[in-house]
Amino acid sequence: MDKEIVKAWASVLADRLERPAKEIAETGLSAYDFPANEEVEVRFDSGDSMHFKFAFFVVDVDREKIAVFTEHSGYFEFPSKYLQVISTRVEIYTGENFED
């Protein structure tokens, strides 16, 4: 299933990953494609939500879909009309004298 999603989204992924679509369709994604400090939250109009670490999302406006690609939890497609997707970059600095 994941290979099918990657092939279907290869042209959109090419823009995000700055690699040729053909290469992405043939070889898939690697751990290097997933930013360690990026997280994605999908919020549905029903009030439900999903949260993914080591993830990114892409949008296909023509197909009215979004896809979320996660390093550890798989790849997901959603219709784009009734949801909100938030991508955050998590950056944490902890000073040497910080006490938790």
Mean pLDDT of 5-17: 96
Q: What is the pLDDT of residue 2?
A: 83
Q: Per the domain annotation, does 99 fall within a domain?
A: no
Q: Per the domain annotation, does 69 fall within a domain?
A: yes
- Count of Cβ atoms closer than 10 Å to residue 68 Cβ: 22
DSSP string, 8-50: HHHHHHHHHHTS-HHHHHHH---GGGS-TTEEEEEEETTS-EE
Structural domain for 50, as ranges = 2-89
What tens digit of pLDDT does each residue of 20-66 get? Answer: 999 999 999 999 999 888 999 999 999 999 999 999 999 999 999 99
Name the helix (H) or strand (E) containing 58: strand 55-60
DSSP 91: -
Q: Per the domain annotation, does 12 fall within a domain?
A: yes
**Reported confidence tier of residue 100, pLDDT bands at 50, 70, 90:** low
Number of domains the chain is built from: 1
Mean pLDDT of 74-92: 87
Mean pLDDT of 9-23: 96
Q: Per the domain annotation, does 54 fall within a domain?
A: yes
Give the distance, in angstroms, between the CA of residue 47 and the centroid of all CA atoms in the same chain: 20
Q: Per the domain annotation, does 78 fall within a domain?
A: yes
Mean pLDDT of 78-92: 85
Q: Per the domain annotation, does 55 fall within a domain?
A: yes
Task: Say if residues 20 and 31 touch (Cβ distance below 8 Å).
Answer: no
Q: Per the domain annotation, does 96 fall within a domain?
A: no
Q: Per the domain annotation, does 30 fall within a domain?
A: yes
Asked whether residue 76 carries a pLDDT value surpassing 80, the answer given is yes
